[in-house]
Amino acid sequence: MKIWIGLRITFSLALIVGVASLVYSQVPAPGPAKSVSVPAVKEAKLKNGLTVAVVEKRSVPIVTVQLLVRAGASSENIKKAGLANMTASMLTKGTKTRSAEQIAQDMEFLGGSINSNAGWNNSSVSITVTSDKLEQAMAIMADVVLNPAFKQEELDLLKQQTTDELTYNLKQPGFINTYVASRRVFGEHPAGGTPESVGSFTRNDVASFYTSSYSPDRSILVFAGDITPSAASALADKLFGGWPQQKPTPVSTAGVGSQSGPSQIVRRILVVDLPDSGQAAVNFYKPVGAGRDSKDYYSASVLNSLLGGGYSSRLNQEIRIKRGLSYGAGSGFGWRSASANFSTRTQTKNESAAEVAELVVAELKRLAETDAPEAELNPRRLVLTGNFGRNLETTVGLTAALSDLLSFGIPTNELNAYMPSVGGVTSGAVKGFAAKSLFNGEMIIVGDYSKFKDDLAKRFPGMQIEVIKASELNIESPTLKKSDVP
């Protein structure tokens, strides 16, 4: 009897596994792309030069407002790396009439939120609140933007928190990898700063960056949600109309153009040796000579979706699903006005770092040399358009999409061009973009070099491999080494 029961259980389990395998092997085909129509964006300009952009979306009583300032990490030098983000973060840490706690409490009382930060291209302050509380929330926002106190005790606390975070992150392979690449490959610097730069910030540094960068004539106030254009303009004029213009500060044009040379995917490899690291971070980087306003943006977006834009992308399929070498692999573009920073990213055990690097190169080469079949390409286009349409359903997503266009000076009607533009990208366009943009890049591996040194040399014979000890790292040095700091 026991044998018979055991056989029945075994048979049942086999049947379940077989049915599950059949179900999962028959992936349903994607449905047709849905159209999304974005309401017209109304733009106006106040007397002080502040641009006001409004998208009226009355389906829910919520409004998101974002003040976009065209000054970010690109406006600072490496000695003051992170100053833009520090300045933006300090805005919500107290004004001449409100403490940091009062700002947080006042916004919480209104049922809203306020956030401030800076990236490479811009700085921003944003709020989301129900429409009946909008004027009260915007009064707080205006106070934060126009009357920051930059209290020394708040600055000291924020500096310490930022330094502690950097100290921790600079022991993590993935963070070190992108940290180094910002300087070595792209000729920029970490937008979040370095321990040395953050430690050097003074109150005068923050106040000076604010004075020279935050000005209405280089700012855009974006409204999305339950508000009319006329009401938005009136509110903007009431709360921001008295904001005086400031003398602009020169904006850095840091960046590295495409590298010339023999046609190979990787032209050199940098290893940052981090002994006893739990894993190795294996990333590929390439500066691309196509800015955000380029028509190549759409080909690049589809390429990225195909290569590393999600669970079913090629990198994740090859590295995680087929071989189990990582928990995930992806890719992305960091867009600038006249260029873009392309990268792939993954982490693996140290012993498989060289194998993963070889797999990444193979996938990049496949993009540039073969046409993607339509059966593979179409779902990746639909992922992009589906995500785009879903994001526009929220006021936060709609504001982000508008701010992206406005910060690069792209006409706002481009929102309605996104879906047909992505849908029109062909396999030939993807292959052509890859062929002209992804060769002669650089591979950076951060991990325990002793565990993959021999395998790396075997898989990349004749390749230039430079090694730097993580303990010797200093991105202010032209060689990235502390010993070579001028």
Per-residue pLDDT tens over the stretch 149-207: 999 999 999 999 999 999 999 999 999 999 999 999 999 999 999 999 999 999 999 99
Q: Which of 26-35, 306-315, 382-391 has the lowest mean pLDDT?
A: 26-35
Q: What's the average model confidence in pLDDT over 409-419?
A: 93
Residue 231 confidence (pLDDT): 97
Residue 31 — very low, low, confident or very high, per pLDDT cuts 50/70/90? Answer: low
Locate tokens 């190549």: which residue?
A: 296
Neighbours of 24 (CB within 10 A): 8
Residue 27 clears pLDDT 90, i.e. is over it: no
Residue 77 clears pLDDT 70, i.e. is over it: yes
- How many angstroms separate the CA atoms of 245 and 145, rounded? 13
What is the β-pairing status of strands 340-348 and 280-288?
antiparallel
Residue 484 — very low, low, confident or very high, per pLDDT cuts 50/70/90? Answer: confident
**Better-predicted residue by pLDDT, 129 or 482:** 129
Instruction: Report how many helices (DSSP H) and strands (DSSP E) the chain contains, helices first.
Output: 17, 12
Q: What's the average model confidence in pLDDT over 409-430?
A: 95
Residue 254 confidence (pLDDT): 45
Q: Supply 209's token pair.
A: 């960056």
Residue 39 confidence (pLDDT): 79
Q: What's the average model confidence in pLDDT over 228-247?
A: 94
pTM of the model: 0.89
- How many angstroms separate the CA atoms of 252 and 186, rounded? 13
Q: What's the average model confidence in pLDDT over 477-485?
A: 84
Residue 9 clears pLDDT 90, i.e. is over it: no
Residue 457 confidence (pLDDT): 97
Residue 33 clears pLDDT 80, i.e. is over it: no
Q: What's the average model confidence in pLDDT over 59-65?
A: 95
Q: What domains sit in the chain, N to C, each tagged with a CATH number?
A: 42-240 (3.30.830.10), 266-484 (3.30.830.10)
**Better-predicted residue by pLDDT, 13 or 123:** 123
Inter-residue contact 468 to 271 (CB < 8 Å)? yes
Q: Which residues pair with 329 in a beta bridge?
A: 346
3-state secondary structure of 452: coil
Three-class secondary structure assignment of 363-389: HHHHHHHCCCCHHHHHHHHHHHHHHHH
Q: Which residues pair with 445 in a beta bridge?
A: 271, 282
Residue 485 — very low, low, confident or very high, per pLDDT cuts 50/70/90? Answer: low
Residue 260 confidence (pLDDT): 45
Residue 483 confidence (pLDDT): 80
Inter-residue contact 310 to 383 (CB < 8 Å)? yes
Q: What's the average model confidence in pLDDT over 20-30?
A: 51
DSSP state of 95: B
Residue 438 clears pLDDT 90, i.e. is over it: yes
Residue 38 confidence (pLDDT): 77
| pLDDT 10s digits, 334-385 | 999 999 999 999 999 999 999 999 999 999 999 999 999 999 999 999 999 9
Q: What's the average model confidence in pLDDT over 274-301?
A: 96
Q: What's the average model confidence in pLDDT over 385-399?
A: 94
- How many angstroms separate the CA atoms of 350 and 341, rounded? 26
Residue 463 — very low, low, confident or very high, per pLDDT cuts 50/70/90? Answer: very high
Q: What's the average model confidence in pLDDT over 135-146?
A: 98
Please name the residue ranges forming H helices in 147-223: 152-169, 173-184, 195-200, 203-213
What is the β-pairing status of strands 51-56 and 219-225?
parallel
Mean residue pLDDT of the chain comes to: 91
3-state secondary structure of 199: helix
Residue 22 confidence (pLDDT): 44
